[in-house]
Amino acid sequence: MRRQHPIGSFVVDFAVMRARLVIEIDGSIHQRAEVQLRDRDREQKLADLGWSLIRFSAEEAMHPDYLISKVAERLGL
């Protein structure tokens, strides 16, 4: 896993290279409508580059066992 990894014109929070999975940790600003619109556009552009994305709130990120279980679930582990 890489942190602050560039993909295309984006820098993602975390990238699981072999699985082509982006993990984003979203602060409260991501609750704003205009930010959500940009997030959806960014997610589509990353998908067009062959990446899938999973988002966590900053609050969820404070619980590593939860994060690990959700990422493992997404990876089919």
pLDDT digit string, tens, across residues 14-66: 999 999 999 999 988 888 989 899 999 999 999 999 999 999 999 999 999 99
Start-to-end C-alpha separation, the chain: 16
> What pLDDT sits at residue 55?
96
Residue 51: how many CB atoms within 10 A of its CB? 19
Please give the distance of CA 61 from its chain centroid, rounded to a whole number: 12
pTM for the model stands at 0.89
Distance, CA of 23 to CA of 41 (rounded, Å) = 16
At 15-25, the pLDDT tens digits run 999 999 999 99
CATH architecture for segment(s) 2-75 = 3-Layer(aba) Sandwich (3.40)
What contacts 54, CB < 8 A, 6 or more positions away?
Answer: 21, 22, 23, 24, 70, 71, 74
Domains of the chain, by residue range, sit at 2-75
